[in-house]
Structure 1
Amino acid sequence: MLSATEERTQLQRVIGYFHGTVFLFSIIIGAGIFVAPKGVLKYSSLNVGVSLSIWAACAVVSVLAALSHAELGTTFPRSGAQYYFLKRSLGPFVAFCYLWINLFSTPAGIAARGLLLAGYLTQPFYPGCFAPEMPKKCLALAILWCLGILNARGVKEVTWFQTVSTAVKVAVLGFISVTGIFLLVRGRRENLARFEKAFDADVPDASQIAEAFLQGLYAYSGWGVLVRIAGELKSPSENIPKCVVTALTLVALIYLLVNVSYLAVLTPKEIMSSDAVAVTWVDRVIPSLQWAISLGVSSSIVSSLNCTVFSTSRLWYMASQEGQLPLILSTLNIRSCPVPAVIQMLIFASILIIPSDLILLISYVGFTDWILLGLMMIGLLKLRFQEPNLSRPYKVCLPFVFGTMATSLFLVLTPIIKSPQMYHVYVIIFILSGVLLYLPFVHFNWGSAYFNKITCFLQLLLNVSPTDDIDDTKYLMSRTLAL
């Protein structure tokens, strides 16, 4: 058994304020800003004013939700803090439901971004028409598995790749923003009229606004990643809230400028007819730079994808150590990467790529994410009253918590009540199906001998082994629960 000092050397607190902000900035700005404008416009009834207002409102909602969520990571500054918090506040079954939903929503988000990335890479080869679906899906599968190989190479390679791709995405979005504003100022009268009469189109109803919010909030998704890796942050009680405010403020400013830039060049109908809005935009402005924009946009999406694969594999790794996922997911290769967790995630994402529809996938992800956030806010309130003396270096204002809960209820219940869709039924059935797995395989631990045989086989096949500190981790967590 390793000592506490030796264990801590595996997860050192090396991420400070600057790098935490960069990491958060990197994972938020991915596919969303390049695909969500189409979905927001669609559910805003092509109303430019409503569309831009929703983008601004999504920024405010995301900041409130992220600051509320930050209390989880500052109270329990460890990797997989969301899972640990739910297990402590609402019990092991709710924590398992969180994992069960994550097993679906995270691969769905990865699949959506993989398809978008493939669309941007293939579109320049099919000028004037849509790229065929088969090459896009094959390329998306290849990209995802290349990221899996990159993660298996270890943290150093992932960090290097992340730094380069983040620099490229900032340059591309800066170019789109500045060029669009310049064209708007020096542009034609009809482009300015699009903003002067921004609210003249039809106004969407409540269910459409809820769907538009889900599309816009998808572009801001990822703000909880610092809580997920809180065990590796320096001074998490200070840095998590500061990183959230800094990164989301910058992201909101960039998103608004990019949307204004799109609308300064393209009409709402042209945006709706485009599979790759940024490529269509540059084809109208500087056609010779279409390839450069495609590569730049691709680097932006792949950077966010890489962050998601990296952080989520750590969440599943921690849940496996706690016995709520198969033991094989908590094994590491020689480069300290939970390869089985990465492989499982990519298998699920690959299955979702084959029949997927991009906007529908975004609705899946947004719907489940806000269910989870609502559960966390309930747990936060329960723990406030149940354990009032628990050390909380950062305490969010209760109005923020209630506001986040109200937003969660609105985004989850309004579409179901106003315009129920089949995917709502699928998601609810999927969540409830977690009960069928929790009782036999987690609560009663049936089939453990059979899973042990599979674990041994996969360990040999993948050349992975359990970490030396599993027992120490369980001991420390049980001591924390006993306090």
Structure 2
Amino acid sequence: ITMGKEKKIQVRRVFGYFWGMSFLVVHIIGADIFAADILLRECGAFPVYVGWPCALLSIMTTLCSAEIGITFPCSGAHYYFLKKGYGNLISFLNLWTALFLGSGLAASQALLLAEYSIQPFYLSCSAPKLPKRCLALAILWTVGILNCRGVREVTWLQIASTVLKMAILGLISLNEVVLLVREWNENVEIFQNSFDAEFPEASQFIEATFQGYFANSGGGCFTYIAGELKEHRKTIPRCIFIASPLVSIVYLLVNISYLTSDTQGNSLFRFVYAVAITWTDRVIPSLTWIVPFGISASLFSKLLINGQLPLLFNMLNIYSSPFMSILLLATMASIAIVLTNLIDLINYIYFAVSIWTIFSLTGILKLRYQEPHLPRPYKVFLPFPLVAIAISLCLILIPLVKSQHMHYVYMYLCVFSGLLFYIPLIHFKLRLIWFEKMTCYLPLIFNICIPDVSDEQMIEEVETIKKIAF
């Protein structure tokens, strides 16, 4: 935050290319072979193969998000994009859903971090649920307190965890080459028989896709912090074009390493759900404690970043920003940790993500047609949003027809429940006296205020209007 000579308070553009690269890598990596994928026990290696098409889907949606972030260079660009493309109703429902998605993502990362931190103490069985949830809550609020000091002050942890994470993945990938050469015939047989298992049902296939998408998603995070990047028009595409293919290649090598370390009749997931830990037990037993530490550090920094993303409360504090958004996020994430488990949480989140992915991608096509002269320094290749729309439609329609779980219907109800607040408060402008009083007193209590529009943002908006008009 910066305060100029005229007493303006606003978020500065302080992050450059290197920070953007580490931000994107940390935000994407964290849940492929590292996720607690229970479906692997039921579908064999099938979810591992599903992860590869999910990587391609993630790259396509990431490139689409890049166009949004560059065209609307402000923090929370996705919200302004939906408001411009669809109006107030859709943008409000997106903000309403983000209230739950942001806390759900933080809760899933805290649960996953707790899984890896506590699992080494229970090598012969699965860890109890109560200690994992208590540890996840402790981690969540510790991260919230640290993040109140601002993202920049914890950037060192993000960069260090990125280096540590890539080193561990590089070690796993190198071991894959050694195993392939040392036991060539046995490994070739494993790959040939990897699809011998019965093809999963449609609902299981969709859930496996959600798991893979959870592993590879995160590339669209730049739309939330576009207002804090230096030279965002150059930084965003450079980071995406380098980080996304790099992460996909690393995932591919690590998945192959997992398959080469497994053998027929060896149920790796009979007791232990943490895949990275079982991988080290099988291949490098001496690293059983090191890999969970590396994964925990990387997920810890990812939680730090997630605290900055939900810009639900727009007020800023000079010394401990963004305090209000962290408080809201941590409170709702704590509820999610107590009431649900990791796998169900992932399915809930990415079913809703698929819904809003369709709105975002169709919005790109809509604005391309309605406002062709809107300044777009970067344009995504047109077939990418079309293919991603088709896949996302399948992800939200098939579960409603084939799945026996009602939580997909609940997600639809959750999204449209925002109408209960939009119609009276936004459309009819109903005023709540008690809420207005609370809005007046909270800034005094927490020493926060509404940020001013930066001169840079004002100049960009004026230039955009001129280009559209002339």
Unaligned runs of 5+ in 2: none
- Cα deviation for residue 205 of structure 1 reads 4.2
Match of 2:282 in 1: 284
- Cα deviation for residue 143 of structure 1 reads 0.3
2 CA distance for matches of 1:3 and 1:297? 38
Alignment equivalent of 1:197, drawn from 182, 193, 196: 193
1:353 and 2:330 equivalent?
no
Residues 33, 10 of structure 1: alpha-carbon distance in 2 compared, 3 angstrom cutoff: farther
**Match for 2:298: what amino acid?**
S
Alignment equivalent of 2:299, drawn from 298, 301, 306: 301
- Cα deviation for residue 395 of structure 1 reads 1.4
Identical amino acids, percent of aligned pairs: 45
Alignment equivalent of 1:449, drawn from 430, 433, 453: 433
- Cα deviation for residue 119 of structure 1 reads 1.4
- Alpha-carbon contact 2:202-2:403 (below 8 Å) kept: no
2 CA distance for matches of 1:237 and 1:201? 47
Residues 79, 132 of structure 1: alpha-carbon distance in 2 compared, 3 angstrom cutoff: same
- Alpha-carbon contact 1:211-1:411 (below 8 Å) kept: no
- Alpha-carbon contact 1:172-1:293 (below 8 Å) kept: yes
- Alpha-carbon contact 1:13-1:232 (below 8 Å) kept: yes
Give the 3-state SS of the residue equivalent to 1:269 in structure 2. coil
1 CA distance for matches of 2:104 and 2:327? 15
Residues 211, 459 of structure 1: alpha-carbon distance in 2 compared, 3 angstrom cutoff: same
Give the 3-state SS of the residue equivalent to 1:34 in structure 2. coil
Alignment equivalent of 2:148, drawn from 146, 152, 176: 152
- Alpha-carbon contact 1:29-1:304 (below 8 Å) kept: no
- Alpha-carbon contact 1:370-1:412 (below 8 Å) kept: yes
Match of 1:24 in 2: 24
- Cα deviation for residue 392 of structure 1 reads 1.2
Residues 395, 471 of structure 1: alpha-carbon distance in 2 compared, 3 angstrom cutoff: closer
- Alpha-carbon contact 1:41-1:272 (below 8 Å) kept: no
- Mean Cα displacement is larger for which, 226-235 or 266-275? 266-275
2 CA distance for matches of 1:154 and 1:31? 25
Match of 1:467 in 2: 450
2 CA distance for matches of 1:428 and 1:404? 20
2 CA distance for matches of 1:256 and 1:347? 36
- Alpha-carbon contact 2:32-2:251 (below 8 Å) kept: no
Match of 1:139 in 2: 135
1:438 and 2:392 equivalent?
no
- Alpha-carbon contact 1:31-1:304 (below 8 Å) kept: no
- Alpha-carbon contact 2:24-2:243 (below 8 Å) kept: yes
1 CA distance for matches of 2:378 and 2:97? 28
**1:239-318 matched pairs, under 5 angstroms:** 239-267=235-263, 269-271=267-269, 273-312=271-310, 315-316=311-312
Alignment equivalent of 2:81, drawn from 68, 85, 97: 85
Match of 1:341 in 2: 325
2 CA distance for matches of 1:136 and 1:348? 18
Give the 3-state SS of the residue equivalent to 1:465 in structure 2. coil
Residues 478, 394 of structure 1: alpha-carbon distance in 2 compared, 3 angstrom cutoff: closer
Residues 332, 245 of structure 1: alpha-carbon distance in 2 compared, 3 angstrom cutoff: same
Residues 35, 330 of structure 1: alpha-carbon distance in 2 compared, 3 angstrom cutoff: same
- Mean Cα displacement is larger for which, 237-246 or 381-390? 237-246
Match of 2:385 in 1: 401
**Match for 1:423: what amino acid?**
H
**Match for 2:291: what amino acid?**
I
- Alpha-carbon contact 1:63-1:245 (below 8 Å) kept: no
- Alpha-carbon contact 1:169-1:297 (below 8 Å) kept: yes
2 CA distance for matches of 1:7 and 1:243? 34
- Cα deviation for residue 237 of structure 1 reads 3.1
Give the 3-state SS of the residue equivalent to 2:15 in structure 1. coil
Residues 306, 224 of structure 1: alpha-carbon distance in 2 compared, 3 angstrom cutoff: same
Residues 125, 478 of structure 1: alpha-carbon distance in 2 compared, 3 angstrom cutoff: same
Unaligned runs of 5+ in 1: 317-328
1:222 and 2:222 equivalent?
no
2 CA distance for matches of 1:143 and 1:262? 29
* CA RMSD across the alignment: 2.8
**1:27-66 matched pairs, under 5 angstroms:** 27-35=27-35, 38-39=37-38, 41=40, 45-46=43-44, 48=45, 50-66=46-62
- Alpha-carbon contact 1:274-1:280 (below 8 Å) kept: yes
**Match for 1:31: what amino acid?**
A
1:111 and 2:102 equivalent?
no
Residues 270, 9 of structure 1: alpha-carbon distance in 2 compared, 3 angstrom cutoff: same
2 CA distance for matches of 1:276 and 1:290? 11
**Match for 1:227: what amino acid?**
T
- Cα deviation for residue 336 of structure 1 reads 5.0
1:384 and 2:362 equivalent?
no
Give the 3-state SS of the residue equivalent to 1:35 in structure 2. coil
1 CA distance for matches of 2:77 and 2:40? 35
- Cα deviation for residue 452 of structure 1 reads 2.4
Match of 2:228 in 1: 232
- Mean Cα displacement is larger for which, 366-375 or 391-400? 391-400
Give the 3-state SS of the residue equivalent to 2:340 in structure 1. coil
Which structure has greater helix proportion?
1
**Match for 2:90: what amino acid?**
V
Count of aligned positions: 463
- Mean Cα displacement is larger for which, 117-126 or 234-243? 234-243
TM-score when normalising by structure 1: 0.88
- Cα deviation for residue 471 of structure 1 reads 10
- Cα deviation for residue 8 of structure 1 reads 9.2
1 CA distance for matches of 2:39 and 2:384? 25
